[in-house]
Amino acid sequence: MKKPLILLLTFLIAGTLLAEDGYRLWLRYDLLSDKTVLNKYRTGITAIVTSGNSATAAIAKEELQNGLQGLLGKKILPANKITDGTIVAGTPTLKVISSLSLGNHLAKAGKEGFIIISTVFNGKKIIAIAANTDIGVLYGTFYFLRLLQTQQAIDKINILSVPKIQNRILNHWDNLNRTVERGYAGFSIWDWHKLPDYIDQRYIDYARANASIGINGTVLTNVNANALVLTKTYLEKVAALANTFRPYGIKVYLTARFSAPIEIGGLKTADPLNTEVQQWWKNKTNEIYQYIPDFGGFLVKANSEGQPGPQNYGRSHADGANMLADAVASHGGIVMWRAFVYSNETPDDRFKQAYNEFKPLDGQFRKNVLVQVKNGPIDFQPREPFHPLFGAMPNTPLMMEFQVTQEYLGQGTNLVYLSTMFKEVLDADTYSKGKGSTVAQIVDGSLDGHTISAMAGVANIGNDRNWTGHPFAQANWYAYGRLAWDHDLASSQIADEWIRQTFTNEKIFVDITKRFMLASHQILVNYMTPLGLNHIMGNGHHYGPSPWSANLPRADWNPVYYHRADSAGIGFDRTTTGSNALAQYANEVADRWKNVNTCPDEYLLWFHHVGWNHKMRSGRTLWEELCYKYYEGVDSIKAVQGQWDKLEKFIDKERFSQVKMLLAIQVNEAIWWRNACLLYFQTFAKMPVPGKHEQPDKTLEYYKSLRFPFAPGN
């Protein structure tokens, strides 16, 4: 009789010592708390049958066993024969799978898709997880375990899931010295000094987490590239990571410094049309593939923000991309050439730069080149209209670049769920081939008939114990992966999945948390950059408001360039009376946005210089509306703070307290943004903050005096 008590005390002590630190992400596999659901799963799942001898097949088997044991609280053992409740996971090499007449469905599944179906085999009720490849089986395994974690019905499953985008990639802006540009979760997880001989468990857990949401590629190094990563010493290290990731279906990519032939190759030029340069890249690429047979290819930032590129030699972006594409083509590699460029001279309108440079090159790139386009035309601002290149280059595969890390969205201290922002762009209608020509259809290749597709997300991962710094930032990594697999998923579904797996299935917690997650992006936009304001953050570190900044050498690095506030009004005129950037969009889009009265409020100051007394749809003047939005943003995040306080009893103390403290910081930062921006814009509007609002308690001079020399991520 003493033994159960000893065991109970052991678990209680362990529970006290092993605090919930967030390391397990959404793969916690804790015992299900709903007894009704738990008992139903326990009686419905009795054994496991798997196939395959590969490392990937072994991982799928182990994942299934560990997941079931954790969720159900009992071991579900491998079996040699089929009984009622057997989970059968494998490819058609497994006799059970081949006998289920899944051929037509498997033909649609391709190399990575999978089928999960409840069916009958020899009179026994089974659940089959079937795919054409072992990696497909692994993806299906994670999907099935997600259903269990979120307490979904499994007795009538009939699922065919196929990724809509082929290359689903994380871009790590990690430097070789382990700093992370725009990273807010510590240093880089890649410990280059210890590689290749020391394989940190974190690398394996990283690969596992990515595989669980369908991410199949990782760019290890910063787009502001260092050529050293292409040398033998570092290629051995990269190969060690590639070997670790391969069983999880993840390919490794590298950023290619365009001047590498000079810096590490001893050549006098990096001209892409020079035969010696072309041969150097071919030789270097062959060397890379000797170390990494499944190397994915190169990501390139060229002729942008000081990075070298083909224009240094009077060549085009297509010339540079094609040289590298030819080098990797025979190996099946791809080149992702970033369209984030703007002139080294003072530009007409930075909004127009990428379109002006890349639109004339449509159709000139090799078939294995994708042009990587940011979601908006400036630079990952809290809200941007979709980039005008989407829909403008039908003869070139365009891939999406999202920023998962929150450079302009509160960085490491603000709770902002980004799926709603990602979806806003993906669902946008470009009208490039008539109504319904969405950005998503361009990215997945279906609109223009491209056979290659990709999506990139700038990673928010660091060596913080919980991976992303802010506990809720994990949701953005998760959402990016889920949308890269299936861009038709709703943000509410993704949030629901993440909450249930990461915290609890308790309905009150899920409902409240999901509600403020779905509102969080708009809340942030309101207290930072409402009505289409953008690029008004601090210089360099991009932390906090600085709409008054005007001291940087380039006009388009300064916030005053973007908001153009004066005594007459505020906003950037991009109509025919201004820069005419709207001409880069289809007529149906431009016609709506060019009229100040039909332009959506959220894009108003992106495209119009609007008078302070302009009457808004709400009936308020522009100045009053600006004040209203800023105050609404602060009030809303205060409300979230109150909602979180009500959820303490539902989750662990550690993460509850962490989020509580971060929300307090977020409220203070929201007030800072509101007060600093309104006090500054008030100097032009010459009108008071409406009396019903709490008045700023500090002066504009105070906010201007703030300095942050060691802000993270800079």
- HEC string of 658-675? HHHHHHHHHHHHHHHHHH
Kindly tell me if the per-residue pLDDT of 603 is higher than 60: yes
Catalytic residue among 294, 379, 652, 654: 379
Domain ranges across the chain: 22-161, 167-502, 526-572+609-705
Give residue 5's pLDDT band: very low, low, confident or very high (50, 70, 90): very low
Plot region of 518 (φ>0 → left; ψ -120 to 50 → alpha; else → beta) = alpha
Q: Dump pLDDT digits (tens) for 395-447.
A: 999 999 999 999 999 999 999 999 999 999 999 999 999 999 999 999 999 99
What pLDDT shows up at residue 403? 98
If DSSP codes are grouped into helix, strand and coil, which group holds residue 262? helix
**701 an active-site residue?**
no
Measured between alpha carbons, how far is 588 from 391 in angstroms, rounded to an integer? 12
Kindly tell me if the per-residue pLDDT of 3 is higher than 50: no
Q: Dump pLDDT digits (tens) for 256-272.
A: 999 999 999 999 999 99
Q: Which residues pair with residue 371 across a beta bridge?
A: 337, 398
Q: Distances from the Cα of 407 to the Cαs of 182, 402, 599, in angstroms?
A: 6, 11, 27
Q: Dump pLDDT digits (tens) for 609-654.
A: 999 999 999 999 999 999 999 999 999 999 999 999 999 999 999 9
Amino acid identity, residue 212?
S
Give residue 346's pLDDT band: very low, low, confident or very high (50, 70, 90): low
Q: Dump pLDDT digits (tens) for 149-204.
A: 999 999 999 999 999 999 999 999 999 999 999 999 999 999 999 999 999 999 99
Measured between alpha carbons, how far is 254 from 300 in angstroms, rounded to an integer? 9
Give residue 13's pLDDT band: very low, low, confident or very high (50, 70, 90): very low
Catalytic residue among 174, 271, 349, 407: 407
Amino acid identity, residue 465?
R
What pLDDT shows up at residue 18? 56
| Runs of H (alpha helix) within 150-271 | 201-212, 232-245, 260-263
Task: Write out the two tokens for 402.
Answer: 């999202």
Plot region of 183 (φ>0 → left; ψ -120 to 50 → alpha; else → beta) = beta
Q: Dump pLDDT digits (tens) for 71-87.
A: 999 999 999 999 999 99
Average pLDDT of the chain to the nearest whole number: 96
Closest C-alpha to 248, from 210, 303, 300, 199: 210
Q: Dump pLDDT digits (tens) for 559-580.
A: 999 999 999 999 999 999 999 9
Sheet arrangement for strand 47-50:
47-50, 86-90, 124-130, 114-121, 158-161
Kindly tell me if the per-residue pLDDT of 285 is higher than 70: yes
Helices 55-72 and 134-149: crossing angle in degrees, nearest 10, is 10
Kindly tell me if the per-residue pLDDT of 1 is higher than 70: no
What pLDDT shows up at residue 344? 62
Identify the DSSP state of 520.
Answer: H
Closest C-alpha to 402, from 692, 65, 165, 606: 165
- Stretch 281-309: mean pLDDT, rounded? 97
**669 an active-site residue?**
no
CB count within 10 Å of CB 495 equals: 24
Kindly tell me if the per-residue pLDDT of 39 is higher than 70: yes
Is the fold of 22-161 the same as that of 526-572+609-705? no
Q: Which residues pair with residue 297 across a beta bridge?
A: 253, 334
C-alpha neighbours within 13 Å on the C-beta side of residue 40: 11
Catalytic residue among 305, 566, 648, 694: 305
pTM of the model: 0.97
Query: Is CATH 3.40.50.1390 what the domain over 526-572+609-705 is classified as, yes or no?
Result: no
Q: Compute CA 318 distance to the chain's CA centroid, rounded to the nearest angstrom.
A: 27
What pLDDT shows up at residue 713? 84
What pLDDT shows up at residue 343? 76
Topology of domain 167-502, CATH: TIM Barrel (3.20.20)
Q: Dump pLDDT digits (tens) for 317-337.
A: 999 999 999 999 999 999 999
Q: Dump pLDDT digits (tens) for 662-700.
A: 999 999 999 999 999 999 999 999 999 998 899 999 999
Kindly tell me if the per-residue pLDDT of 455 is higher than 60: yes
Strands annotated E in 318-396: 334-338, 369-374
Measured between alpha carbons, how far is 24 from 16 in angstroms, rounded to an integer? 17
Measured between alpha carbons, how far is 5 from 79 in angstroms, rounded to an integer? 33
Measured between alpha carbons, how far is 323 from 326 in angstroms, rounded to an integer? 5
Helices 491-502 and 507-528: crossing angle in degrees, nearest 10, is 120
**200 an active-site residue?**
no
Closest C-alpha to 23, from 219, 241, 191, 189: 189
CATH architecture, domain defined by 22-161: 2-Layer Sandwich (3.30)
